[in-house]
Amino acid sequence: MITTPTIPFVSTMNESDENVWLQALSKLMPDETILPLRMLNDQARQLVDIAIVANPDPEELQTLPNLVWVHSVWAGVEKILQSPVTHNFSIVRLVDPKLSQTMAEAVLAWTLYLHRDMPEYAAQQAKAVWQPLPYISASERTVGVLGLGELGKEAALLLAKLGFNVIAWSRSQKTIDQIETFSTSEGLDRILGRSDILICLLPHTPATENLLSFENLSKLKPGAKLINFARGRIIDDEALLYDLNRGHIQHAVLDVFAYEPLPVSHTFWTHPKVTVLPHISAPTTVQSASEIVAQNVRNYRHLRVLPDTVNTQLGY
């Protein structure tokens, strides 16, 4: 009887959260042995060809010399990609339709929050001010979406379905029905200049770090509103605060930050034009993510077929 190598689960989670994943994955893959990396001795690590990871310490993966590929249970894999530690294995990020639906739901909720002037009404309530604000229909509101991967595409289509005028930008040109799409730096300028609400859903790569800089934020339509559900380092915090303080940007909904949890002393917590969320826009669903990982592992074991892997040069 041939036994397959143990699959290590490599993460920075606490033991309780880690056990939730281990139980779900083990139940769906009864023919596999899935254990925390710390439980594998040197001999077992030599045999490992697959690892399941969740924001792992890249140096821990270096203890698996014959690793062929890793499967992330999250969509983001930038911690591995941007590590100075070199790697020879392939990286598979989570592509989960349920995650796309969850993100689209969050994008719609917080777009409506800005579209229907909820921050302004909350400020008025605090001052006991009864003052209706002018109504603008969805068709008159231009929403720009940065990033047209699975998450961005799903969100853009849902917004269009609700009647918003949706335009979108991605690094490579894409075509989507009902959506006016752009690429290139000139295309980004057009998106920024036309958007009433700008939504960032880009992956964090060297090319997108600080993409929304002083220069690019200044190109936003005056009075625009901003949602960042991507990664904190895509926006220059100082540039954002500058444009919020001078009134160029009316409000920002931020779910991701350069440092998380957001330090209690950070200006964003108390800024009247910022809504802070604790990285909750699209939480991974353990069951659906585990089902996808399990199917991809089975395909590899039986057919030697790898799922789509991350382009390490592009970062996604």
pLDDT tens digits, 143-196: 999 999 999 999 999 999 999 999 999 999 999 998 999 999 999 999 999 999
* Backbone torsions φ then ψ of 186, nearest 5 degrees: -65, -40
- 91 and 13 housed in the same domain: yes
Q: In whole numbers, what is the pLDDT of the chain averaged over residues?
A: 96
Residue 316, domain member (yes or no): no
Confirm whether 222 is domain-assigned: yes
At residue 201 the predicted structure's pLDDT band, cuts being 50, 70 and 90, is very high
User: Which residues, listed in sequence order, are joined to residue 180 by a DSSP beta bridge?
Assistant: 167
Mean pLDDT of 2-14: 92
Phi, psi of 306 (to 5 degrees): -90, 145
Closest CA to 101 of 89, 109, 113: 109
In a domain? residue 73: yes
Instruction: Please check whether residues 173 and 56 belong to one and the same domain.
Output: no
Q: Which domain holds residue 56?
A: 7-96+284-303
Closest to 39 measured CA to CA, from 3, 65, 8: 8
Taking a C-beta distance cutoff of 8 angstroms, is the pair 193, 219 a contact? yes
Mark whether 279 is an active-site residue: yes
Catalytic choice (279, 298, 302, 304):
279
Task: Name the percent of the chain lying above pLDDT 90.
Answer: 94
Three-state secondary-structure class, residue 201: coil
Q: What is the pLDDT of residue 315?
A: 85
Longest CA pairwise span in the chain (Å): 76
Asked if residue 140 is part of any domain, the answer here is yes
Q: What is the pLDDT of residues 127-157, one digit of tens each?
A: 999 999 999 999 999 999 999 999 999 999 9
Q: CATH number of the domain that 192 lies in?
A: 3.40.50.720
260 in a structural domain: yes
The bridge status of strand 142-146 relative to strand 50-54 is: unpaired
The answer on pLDDT for 111 being more than 60 is: yes
User: Do residue 298 and residue 218 come from a single domain?
Assistant: no
**CA 161/CA 157 separation, integer angstroms:** 6
Q: Give the model's pLDDT for residue 202.
A: 97
Indicate if 179 and 76 belong to the same structural domain.
no
Beta strand ranges found along 107-171 (DSSP E):
142-146, 165-169
CB atoms within 10 A of CB 71: 25
Vertex 96: Cα angle to 95 and 102 (nearest 5): 125
Q: Is 271 found in the same domain as 129?
A: yes
> How far, CA to CA in Å, does 248 sit from each of 39, 224, 227?
54, 7, 15
In a domain, 308, yes or no: no
Q: In terms of domains, do 167 and 34 share one?
A: no
Q: Same domain for 30 and 118?
A: no
Q: Is 143 helix (H, G, I), strand (E, B) or coil?
A: strand
What pLDDT is stored for residue 1 in this prediction? 44
Q: Does 313 map to a domain? A: no
Label residue 83 by pLDDT band (50, 70, 90): confident
Confidence of residue 314 (pLDDT cuts 50, 70, 90): confident
pLDDT for res 27: 98
Q: Which range, of 133-137, 305-309, 311-315, averages the lowest pLDDT?
A: 311-315
C-beta contacts of 250-253 below 8 A and 24+ residues apart: 250/223, 250/224, 250/225, 251/114, 251/119, 251/225, 251/226, 251/275, 252/225, 252/226, 252/227, 252/228, 253/110, 253/113, 253/114, 253/225, 253/226, 253/227, 253/228, 253/277
Q: Given the residues 71, 115, 231, 233, select the one marked as catalytic.
A: 231
| One domain for residues 37 and 71 | yes
Same domain, 147 and 163: yes
Residues 185 and 249 in one domain: yes
Domain count across the chain = 2
Instruction: Give dist(CA 268, CA 238) in Å, integer.
Output: 11
Asked whether residue 117 falls in the same domain as residue 263, the answer is yes
Query: Do 48 and 170 have their domain in common?
Result: no
Give the per-residue pLDDT at 2. Answer: 56
**Between 43 and 85, where is the model more confident?**
43
Question: Can you spell out the DSSP letters for 232-243?
Answer: GGGB-HHHHHHH
- pLDDT value of position 144: 98
Q: Is residue 12 part of a domain?
A: yes
